[in-house]
Structure 1
Amino acid sequence: MQKLLWGVDRFSTWIGKAFAWLIVALTALIVWEVFSRYVLNKPHAWVLDAQIMLYGTLFMTAGAYTLSKNGHVRGDVLYGFFRPRTQATVDLVLYLLFFLPGIVALTWAGWTYANESWAIREQTFSADALPLYPFKFMIPVAGAVLLLQGVVEIIRCVICLQQGEWPRREDDVEEVDVDKLKAMVHVKDEDIEALDRYVTKEQRS
């Protein structure tokens, strides 16, 4: 099971790193357009559309990569105090209630949206029109990869609930030093246990 989880992590990482090169293309395109516009006095109407599509693709494909690295924003100040099983319970509830419905809807609607765009060979509205349908197909692709990574995270939650600790990631990094944070805010283990019991009780009710 661990090899399967790591395999999906590697796939999401590969997707994220591959599309990260778009930032180089985006930077080069902007530099070239600034030079062309202000030095050569030859602006290009299609460049803004290309910039938006490149950035949009970069943004969408970064989702699964960030999730695989456990890098999305979280309120670690409170969450970090919870025991692993409580953390897994909170994560699992949020994945089932919000993540899965939202990403499934994004992928499904994105596929329909992209096919409609392909059917009419949709183009941008600039004077120098660019084909828009290849960009729109990135919506369901990015959604599907993010959904796959989300399923892996749900499996990790279930494993943590069973074993009492999080399964190890390939590149585990402790973003918050919990012990130092406890000492800094003068929190005792007894306080954390009481908070843990309270959260668990509230979730059950």
Structure 2
Amino acid sequence: MENKDEVLAVEAVTGEKRKAIAEAGILGNIIDRVGLVFALCFIVSMSILILEIFMRYVLNSPTLWAHETTIFLCAIAFIYGGVYCAAHDRHIRVVLIYDMVGPKMRRMLDVVISLVCFFSAAFFAYASWLMVARSVWSPDGAIRLERTGSAWNPPYPALLKLFMLAMLLVLAVQFIILAYNYARKPQR
């Protein structure tokens, strides 16, 4: 296993972009490719804010939709970032013990960490489902998307909660794939 600092140094010098780790499987590669779409959300958000500044301060005609849209775009990009980090093995971990053990124990820790992360993601997906149920369906069962309550009133809260649920489910599947692939990885 490569040292993370060495990997970052090689990337900085060569300009080579790191792909999803092999243990992430096909799902990790898909997550990696789709990541560009969500990275573009930040550029679109910046463009919208520049437009809003122009509309407000030059034309004296501010928009109703700019702020809520940029918040929504940035929020979905940040949520996707969690799945992206898991596929690239760039998530936060406490390495105090991890760095002190040998390769066999690291492999075992990778499996255990992935399983703990799976159960965490599954638990949060369940909690997210509870939020989705309240934000998408009215008490009588009709579909009624929760809205922001502003003058423009888009259904961004409901859409954001649905997206979070979907990404937590993807994250749970990604951690199961990681645990499986770490477990079957040949010992060194």
Listed one character per residue, the Cα deviations across residues 48-78 of structure 1 (whole Å, up to 9, x for unaligned) are 2212211110011122222111122345576
Instruction: Name whichever of 131-140 and 76-85 sits farther off.
Output: 76-85
- TM-score normalised to the size of structure 2? 0.73
1:164 and 2:180 are equivalent in the alignment:
no
1:85 to 81, 86, 104: 104
Listed one character per residue, the Cα deviations across residues 101-124 of structure 1 (whole Å, up to 9, x for unaligned) are 321122222233224322232110
1:48 and 2:73 are equivalent in the alignment:
no
Superposition deviation, residue 16 in structure 1: 1.9
Rounded Cα–Cα distance in structure 1 between residues aligned with 2:134 and 2:37: 27
Rounded Cα–Cα distance in structure 1 between residues aligned with 2:49 and 2:99: 41
Rounded Cα–Cα distance in structure 2 between residues aligned with 1:152 and 1:84: 20
Rounded Cα–Cα distance in structure 1 between residues aligned with 2:88 and 2:47: 28
RMSD value, Cα = 2.4
Rounded Cα–Cα distance in structure 2 between residues aligned with 1:32 and 1:60: 25
Q: Which has the larger radius of gyration?
A: 1
Rounded Cα–Cα distance in structure 2 between residues aligned with 1:81 and 1:12: 31
Say if 2:121 and 2:172, in contact at 8 Å, map to a contact too: yes
1:9 to 28, 34, 38: 28
Amino acid at match of 1:131: P
1:125 and 2:149 are equivalent in the alignment:
yes
Instruction: Specify the alignment match of 2:132 in structure 1.
Output: 114
Distance 1:104 1:78, change over 3 A: closer
Q: Which runs of 5+ in 2 are unaligned?
A: 1-21, 138-143
Instruction: Specify the alignment match of 2:161 in structure 1.
Output: 136
Say if 1:15 and 1:61, in contact at 8 Å, map to a contact too: no
Q: Which runs of 5+ in 1 are unaligned?
A: 166-205
- TM-score normalised to the size of structure 1? 0.67
